[in-house]
Structure 1
Amino acid sequence: MKSKNSILKIAVDLSWLKFTWALWVIPIVFIVYNILRYFIGEEKFIQQGFLPFVYGPTKIFMLVVGIISVSGFLTFYVKQGIPRKDYFYGQAISAVIVSFSMMLIGFLIALVEKEFVLGIHIDSYLGQDPSWLLLYFIYSLNVVGYFVAGWLIGAGFYRFGVLIGMAYIALAVLILSIIDRFWEFELKDLFGKILFFNGVEFSVFLSFLGTILLILLVLWINRITLKKVAVKMK
């Protein structure tokens, strides 16, 4: 019971900390979006609306937070006598909470925009004008993927240093490119030819399943990497 309480407290504390950072990110993204919307006359950009736009900065934000999460948070919690296992599970829960919450804010803003701005038509892997609720879950799950990939990079550098850390970067990019391939996102063609799945069509179910399995795989690697790592106290 004590361990469960510790995990919950860590999850709440880390979620709140990330939220305080996100409170700066989302307003800035909203301002930039409206500036670009005013000055860029490209029809496709205007039609896509805020939801796909906010996804890009959100995933990069969570990637960066994931990278710094080991050197910053693991050291702090171990100094407080918190077991690595509790830190790991608390961090993982926090990643899900913050990822889905940030995209929820973007989702709600996009719904208001759709209500008052004419001509919003999202064109995605799911086709034109897909279910916005389904898009919300897709974007949120992918943001979780970017966080755990950043966490993977941070873990690799923290334990092994620069040389092996570079291999962890390559692994993270590979994982993200496969996830993006499932959903036809930006990195979809990066390793497609090497992995022989360019042109392969994935159903929504398989894309969700593949993404979740890859996230769990990365979490397992993170757990193994950090399980007995020597914590740098200075």
Structure 2
Amino acid sequence: MKKNSVKKVALDMYIEQMKWSVWFIGIIMAVYIGFNIAANFFDLDFIDNLLGFSEGSSIIYMFVIGIIAGLAFLPQFIKLGVTRRHVFYGTVISAILVSISLPLIFSLFSGVEYLLSGLFGFTIEGPLFRNFTASFFLYSLNNLMGYLAGWLINVGFYKFNWKAGLLFIALAGGVIALYTLIWKDSIISLYSTDLGTLGTGLPFLLSLLKTLALILFVLITIRTLTKRISIKIK
């Protein structure tokens, strides 16, 4: 067992998943530009910037790649002599990195968009820099929860039969529902003027602690189920 197996798994998975993400980012930008052109041509209201526009789609995308990547890489790493434990930790790290990378990339493009709007005199709506720290944090957190929910479903179908897999879909749905309840409007509307409440009526720290407990529950469940999981190596 190599000392840096976790780092190797995390890096390999991050690079591969970001390759997939290039297509996602390109599609989102193309659709966003198309909507803006249509809004100007037909005189429609389209009040959003690229960062806000991408947020809902990013959650769905992370959910999908969580299903795909959750255990897709495991057989290959096992063949290379990496333990299940190291693959698990590497997967978690890569999921966190991808979750942060997407809003970072869209934030950079949104910044360029605002600069161009100043140079060429067109208007961009949406509060890009209003409480940006909270918005960026919640965007990343939403992505991570989407990924973990997809991964949980993947594990259920991989380890058990399809009937048990359906139960894991319900479990993942319950996790997302509980997460949504903790943050309430934040998944739909990231932009809050008050970092202390973020529209939930709960202190930010309390909401964060509840979310961390929920993430820990999902990770412990996945780790327990994959600890001695039979690997289907082709």
Same fold, TM exceeding 0.5? yes
Q: Partners in 2 of 1:51 and 1:11 — Cα distance?
A: 26
C-alpha displacement of 1:67: 0.6
C-alpha distance after superposition, 1:12-41 (max 9, x if no partner): 000000111111110111010111122245
Q: Partners in 2 of 1:185 and 1:200 — Cα distance?
A: 8
State the TM-score, normalizing by the size of structure 2: 0.84
C-alpha displacement of 1:70: 3.7
Q: Which amino acid aligns with 1:28?
A: I
Q: CA, structure 1 residues 47+70, in 2 after alignment: closer, same or farther (shift >3 Å)?
A: closer
Q: CA, structure 1 residues 35+158, in 2 after alignment: closer, same or farther (shift >3 Å)?
A: same
C-alpha distance after superposition, 1:138-179 (max 9, x if no partner): 101110111111100000100012111111111111111222
Q: How does 1:19-168 map to 2 (within 5 A)?
A: 19-40=18-39, 42-43=44-45, 46-117=46-117, 118-122=123-127, 130-168=130-168
State the TM-score, normalizing by the size of structure 1: 0.84
C-alpha displacement of 1:209: 2.3
C-alpha displacement of 1:42: 4.8
Q: Partners in 1 of 2:184 and 2:44 — Cα distance?
A: 24
Q: CA, structure 1 residues 187+157, in 2 after alignment: closer, same or farther (shift >3 Å)?
A: farther
C-alpha displacement of 1:61: 1.6
Q: Partners in 1 of 2:133 and 2:187 — Cα distance?
A: 21
Q: Partners in 2 of 1:200 and 1:9 — Cα distance?
A: 39
Gaps of at least 5 residues in structure 1 are 124-128, 189-198
Q: CA, structure 1 residues 50+187, in 2 after alignment: closer, same or farther (shift >3 Å)?
A: closer
Q: CA, structure 1 residues 27+223, in 2 after alignment: closer, same or farther (shift >3 Å)?
A: same
C-alpha distance after superposition, 1:38-69 (max 9, x if no partner): 224553xx322111211122222211111122
C-alpha distance after superposition, 1:113-151 (max 9, x if no partner): 23444352349xxxxx73112201110111011111110
Q: Given the alignment of the two structures, is residue 14 of structure 1 paired with residue 19 of structure 2, yes or no?
A: no
1:195 aligns with none
Q: Partners in 2 of 1:108 and 1:208 — Cα distance?
A: 26
Q: CA, structure 1 residues 163+27, in 2 after alignment: closer, same or farther (shift >3 Å)?
A: same
Q: Which amino acid aligns with 1:159?
A: K
Gaps of at least 5 residues in structure 2 are 118-122, 190-198
Give aligned-pair identity as a percent: 34
Aligned-CA RMSD value: 2.3
- Contact preservation (8 Å) 1:95, 1:147: yes
Q: Partners in 2 of 1:21 and 1:157 — Cα distance?
A: 23
C-alpha displacement of 1:187: 8.3
Q: Partners in 1 of 2:105 and 2:227 — Cα distance?
A: 34
| Bigger mean CA offset, 49-58 vs 82-91 | 49-58
| Bigger mean CA offset, 61-70 vs 83-92 | 61-70
1:192 aligns with none
Q: Partners in 2 of 1:186 and 1:42 — Cα distance?
A: 25
C-alpha distance after superposition, 1:81-121 (max 9, x if no partner): 21100000000000001110111001111222234443523
- Contact preservation (8 Å) 1:19, 1:98: yes
